[in-house]
């Protein structure tokens, strides 16, 4: 079990400022210690871990089995930060599977946060998790990732969004007609249509990207920064498809349903 910190170990005026709304957490020394105590009382059997990020040592905690992860973050008492206006105590709870967000929500109750962490480790379906803990919410894409069906959903959502954007519409439709491109995760970045092997956010930097220029022509950016222009969308997409490396296929991990 990680070492439990006490406010006496290292005075932290910022952390102590949480005391009016988080007296239990401040008394424990950190949200890690407080959540671990709740888990131990409930007999959950997991070991919480600190979040290795500046400024989060005392106010955030993670519980993970290496794939499923729950992160709990204490909210600060002012609008525009982790709490909404008028709130006084709120733990932001997020559930992840690898690098994919699965569900999240806020609760003032630390035992509920610990309960979510325990539940998520039991590998439930997302629908079952949010039914068990109604303060959580999820989304269509998270459930598509869970089924191993994220790529078609991403393409459908991108096509719907691009339908009202003349600079993307023709590019997206032309790319969707190409089987090798349609098999990849699509995205956009600075008006460029991008492609990725990865199911999680982020793009494969070595795959070509394409955008429409102000004059109506198209520009393709290749691995290494080389640029090439094309007169038509068909020519541009042909350049992209023709430059795909042999291993430009989706990461198999992103195509498997979650266990």
Identify the pLDDT of residue 190.
85
Half-sphere exposure of residue 33, counting CA atoms within 13 Å on the CB side? Answer: 16
Q: How many domains does the chain have?
A: 2
Q: Are 171 and 165 spatial neighbours (Cβ–Cβ below 8 Å)?
A: no
Identify the pLDDT of residue 99.
87
Residue 241 lies in a domain: yes
Q: Using H for helix, E for strand and C for coil, what is the string for 190-254?
A: CCEEEEECCCCCCCCCCCCEEEECCCCCEEEECCCCCEEEECCHHHHHHHHHHCCCCCCCCCHHH
Domain co-membership, 22 together with 132: yes
Residue 28 lies in a domain: yes
Q: Which regions of the chain are under pLDDT 50?
A: 1-9, 11, 78-86
Domain co-membership, 134 together with 152: no
pLDDT digits (tens, 9 = 90+) for 64-121: 999 999 999 998 654 444 444 345 899 999 999 998 999 999 999 999 999 999 999 9
Instruction: List, in sequence order, every residue forming a beta bridge with 227; answer none if it has no partner.
Output: 221
* Nearest-angstrom CA–CA distance, 122 and 97: 12
Q: Are 116 and 131 spatial neighbours (Cβ–Cβ below 8 Å)?
A: no
Domain co-membership, 20 together with 125: yes
- For 174, the domain range is 148-255
Distance (Å) of CA 29 to CA 24, 58, 135, 141, 218: 9, 7, 26, 37, 57
Domain co-membership, 26 together with 121: yes
Residue 6 lies in a domain: no
Residue 126 lies in a domain: yes
Domain co-membership, 170 together with 201: yes
Domain co-membership, 127 together with 152: no
Residue 1 lies in a domain: no
Q: Are 89 and 22 spatial neighbours (Cβ–Cβ below 8 Å)?
A: yes
Among residues 98, 117, 138, the one where a domain terminates is 138
In this structure, what token pair is assigned to residue 187? 């995205």
Among residues 138, 157, 181, the one where a domain terminates is 138
Among residues 117, 138, 159, the one where a domain terminates is 138
Instruction: List, in sequence order, every residue forming a beta bridge with 194; answer none if it has no partner.
Output: 187
Domain co-membership, 52 together with 89: yes
Distance (Å) of CA 195 to CA 33, 159, 171: 42, 14, 12
Identify the pLDDT of residue 204.
73
Domain co-membership, 187 together with 81: no
Domain co-membership, 196 together with 234: yes
Residue 143 lies in a domain: no
Q: Are 244 and 180 spatial neighbours (Cβ–Cβ below 8 Å)?
A: yes
pTM: predicted TM-score of the whole model, two decimal places: 0.85
Distance (Å) of CA 76 to CA 18, 88, 136, 237, 256: 7, 8, 20, 48, 38
Identify the pLDDT of residue 121.
98
Domain co-membership, 59 together with 127: yes
């Amino acid at each position: 079990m990680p070492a439990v910190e006490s406010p006496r170990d290292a005075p932290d005026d910022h952390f102590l400022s949480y005391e009016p709304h988080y007296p239990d957490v401040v008394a424990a020394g950190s949200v890690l210690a407080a959540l671990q105590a709740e888990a131990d009382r409930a007999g959950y059997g997991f070991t919480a871990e600190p979040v290795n990020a500046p400024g989060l040592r005392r106010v955030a905690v993670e519980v993970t089995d290496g794939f499923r992860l729950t992160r709990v973050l204490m909210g600060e008492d002012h609008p525009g930060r982790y709490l909404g206006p008028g709130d006084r105590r709120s733990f932001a709870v997020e559930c992840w599977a690898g690098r994919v967000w699965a569900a999240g929500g806020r609760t003032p109750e630390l035992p509920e946060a610990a309960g979510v962490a325990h539940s998520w480790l039991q590998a439930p379906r997302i629908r079952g998790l949010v039914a068990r803990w109604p303060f959580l919410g999820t989304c269509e894409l998270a459930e598509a990732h869970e089924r191993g069906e994220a790529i078609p959903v991403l393409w459908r959502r991108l096509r719907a969004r691009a339908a009202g954007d003349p600079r993307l519409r023709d590019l997206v439709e032309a790319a969707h007609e190409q089987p090798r491109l349609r098999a990849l995760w699509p995205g956009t970045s600075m008006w460029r249509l991008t492609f990725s092997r990865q199911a999680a956010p982020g793009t494969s930097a070595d795959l070509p990207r394409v955008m429409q220029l102000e004059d109506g022509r198209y520009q393709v950016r290749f691995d290494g920064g080389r640029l090439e222009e094309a007169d038509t969308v068909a020519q541009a997409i042909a350049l992209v498809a023709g430059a795909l490396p042999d291993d430009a296929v989706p990461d198999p991990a992103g195509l498997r349903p979650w266990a």
